[in-house]
Amino acid sequence: MARITVLDDDLWKSVPSQVVEQAKEAAAEEPCWIAKREDGHFVSFDAPPGGPDTATGDLVYIAEVNPTGR
């Protein structure tokens, strides 16, 4: 089971359950994040905030999902 740290309480309420489940599955081995893209879609992915792949600023990070025990 994954451990979720919510970073934005207001947006967390809008995250579809499918995205949360996808993030939990992805975080079985490594941390992942849930974010809202500039186009309004919610996504889960493995790029941390501030990384070169996310430096465009078109993401709003909502939650960090970690494997149990981390």
Determine the length of the chain.
70
Domain boundaries, the chain: 2-67
- pTM reported for the whole predicted model: 0.85
- Per residue in 1-48, pLDDT tens? 679 999 999 999 999 999 999 999 999 889 999 999 989 999 998 887
